[in-house]
Amino acid sequence: MTRLPDFRLETYFSRWEFTARHHLTASDAQTMTMPELLALADPEDLRAWETLSFGYTETFGDPGLRQAIAQMYTRAGADDVICFAGAEEALYLAMQVLLGPDDHAVVLTPNYQAAETVPLSLCEVTGVALDPARDWALDLDEVAAALRPNTRVVSVNFPNNPTGKVIDAADFAALARLCDERGIRLFSDEVYRGLERDPARTLPQAADLSERALSLNVTSKSLGLPGLRIGWITCRDRELRSRLERAKHYTTICNSAPSEVLARIAVKASEQILARNRAVIAANLPVFDAFFARFPELFDWRAPDGGCVAYPRYLGPDGVEAFCTELVEQAGVLLLPASIYRSELTATPADRFRIGLGRRDPEPALAAFTDWLGTRG
């Protein structure tokens, strides 16, 4: 096992996330206050909140929360769900359980760094790149060609972070079949599911397509509740679920009791929360369209298919790294440059930046951005 490298995104955020005046690269949708969330609670969950005691909770997760999560799937039950302290713990432990030194994994790029570096710390990994020249298309033949006899995991993320790409449902189903035919686990990061611009393009969840597949989700992104730190994996393979529980004994052991009750409220009200967050993004998109239209010589912009982040190109001669650094240092506007999403597995574009679309009132940040661009001549 090799040592994990620094987490570039979190290292960058530790410097700027809470000091920059305008956080214009947020990956989560609009959050809410405690009274707003509690207003969505049914009487049973409100009573659970008001009478909560601070003892240990079940390692698998609160039974009521797991039941609520299971209602989001068509073929999974509460016993197919295990909860974690956010999606990162779930991803990390899943890879520890699924992969060993003699195994091989396939990972899509660009990606959330842990999706690549955690498998790389455990075994050989092959990258398959989404193609920016074809609107970040996924070539299933390329995935098939990357598979080996010892491939154990294919890891994907749609809607994708950072590109916002959503592939066709038929291609996603074909990917699940390919994995099943080869005895491979499909690990599907679905944390932005529910924020598709066109709801008709919402993908089926991997755990509904295959008994062997793992669906990763969390309250942080589409629901906009990252402070709860509640994620989960849904998988209909009970033996694997038991292995995940035993792995969790070495990390958090169990989740925060208050967070699980609040997450239960949020998951039960997920359709209402997702509708609100889709409305925020829909209202923001014309604002971002107008901003980027003012500077066609500097930016190549396309709205994402889903999620609340986009990955436009920067066309300026100074390069995107210098551009993002000067923007946050001089104007207090935070973006994520392409170096955050570089890959050890494939070539990745070096001229892009991540921008967030899911927070209300982006106008002050875009105004500061505009003013700063005006000072550069």
pLDDT digits (tens, 9 = 90+) for 100-156: 999 999 999 999 999 999 999 999 999 999 999 999 999 999 999 999 999 999 999
Q: Where are the alpha helices (DSSP H) in 156-205?
A: 169-182
**Tokens read off for 320:** 């995107």
Q: What are the residue ranges spanned by the domains of the chain?
A: 8-33+272-375, 43-269
Instruction: Pull the structure tokens for residue 317.
Output: 């001669």
pLDDT of amino acid 1: 56
Determine the CATH number of domain 43-269.
3.40.640.10
What is the model's pLDDT at position 113?
A: 96
Tokens of 161: 């972070």
* Backbone dihedral angles phi then psi of residue 333, each to the nearest 5 degrees: -105, 120
DSSP string, 100-168: -TT-EEEEEES--HHHHHHHHTTSEEEEEE-BGGGTTB--HHHHHHH--TTEEEEEEESS-TTT-----
Task: Please say whether the beta carbons of 238 and 76 come within 8 A.
Answer: no
Report the alpha-carbon distance of residue 89 to residue 252 in Å, rounded.
Answer: 9
Q: What pLDDT shows up at residue 377?
A: 65
Helices 238-248 and 86-98, packing angle to 10 deg: 110
Residues of the chain with pLDDT under 50: none
Cis status of the peptide bond prior to 5, with omega within 30 of 0:
no
Residue 235's φ and ψ, nearest 5 degrees, are: -150, 135
Are residues 237 and 211 in contact, defined by beta-carbon separation less than 8 angstroms?
A: yes
Q: How far is CA 231 from the centre of its chain?
A: 11
* Ramachandran category for residue 200: left, alpha or beta (phi over 0 → left; psi -120 to 50 → alpha): alpha
Q: What is the SS3 assignment for 231? A: strand
Query: What is the per-residue pLDDT for 364?
Result: 98
User: Which listed CATH number (3.40.50.11270, 3.90.1150.10, 3.40.50.2300, 3.60.40.10) goes with 8-33+272-375?
Assistant: 3.90.1150.10
